[in-house]
């Protein structure tokens, strides 16, 4: 059977679904109650008191606060922390 009424508009269903979706601005934050993460990344100089000393341990208070605020590290700082932790871990295994 052919429908002799008005031709069916195929775009009407897609346009109504986009009208109900909320639009978010890329300029503002969606959740304004949560503070923004730090804009800067921690570098080796921020974490270590003597960055040139390979046996120097990171300042855990600075690192913990930055991570709790969802901050980021530079790749060099992250690799230095991993290498330091690896050395401590292997040294403790030898002690057992």
Question: Would you state the pLDDT for residue 24?
Answer: 66
**Residue ranges per domain, the chain?**
37-96
Question: Would you state the pLDDT for residue 41?
Answer: 93
Express each pLDDT in 14-65 by its tens digit.
455 556 777 766 777 777 888 888 989 999 999 988 888 878 888 999 999 9
Question: Would you state the pLDDT for residue 6?
Answer: 55
Q: Any bridge partners for residue 41, and if so which?
A: 72
pLDDT band at 4 (very low <50, low <70, confident <90, very high): low
CA distance 34 to 88: 36
Contact 73, 42 (CB under 8 A): yes
């Amino acid at each position: 059977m052919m429908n002799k009424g008005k031709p069916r508009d195929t775009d009407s269903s897609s346009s109504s679904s986009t009208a109900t979706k909320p639009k978010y601005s890329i300029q503002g934050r969606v959740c304004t109650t949560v503070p923004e993460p730090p804009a800067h990344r921690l570098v080796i100089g921020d974490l270590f008191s003597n960055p040139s000393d390979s046996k120097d341990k990171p300042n855990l208070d600075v690192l913990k606060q930055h991570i709790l605020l969802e901050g980021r590290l530079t790749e060099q700082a992250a690799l230095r922390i991993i290498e330091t932790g690896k050395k401590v871990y292997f040294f403790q295994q030898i002690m057992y």
